Structure 1
Amino acid sequence: MHEFHLPEMTCGHCASKVSIALKRLDAACDIQLDLPQRKVHVRSDEDRATLIDALSEAGYPPA
């Protein structure tokens, strides 16, 4: 499982965009969002760099 801190994820709309971006990359991925801590945990067959690229392209680059 990969954990990312997303400082730009500040609301439910942001969390939705993060989920959509990750699901587009890997429809079978498991996502756990922690909005108050601005963290996302992702279980995916994709490698970490690919996940980071998808998050960054969606406007939520990991810190």
Structure 2
Amino acid sequence: MIGKADILRLSVSERIQLAQDIWDSIVEVPDSVPLTDEQKAQLDRRLDAYHRDPNAGSPWSVVRK
């Protein structure tokens, strides 16, 4: 296993890439990030709201600003 000292010897761009690679490896297996019952319920509420009115809300291009 590589330690923190090893990571800190990497350049900033290498550390960013490492973080991205780690994140990508986590999300490749959706069940590896378990949701609580409350999180599942919230997602269900949001999906139901979307199905009721797909035009409600704001597009990503507006939200991210």
The TM-score with structure 2 as length reference comes to 0.29
Q: Which of the pair has the greater relative contact order for Cα pairs under 8 Å at 6+ separation?
A: 1
The TM-score with structure 1 as length reference comes to 0.30
Give the structure with the larger strand fraction.
1
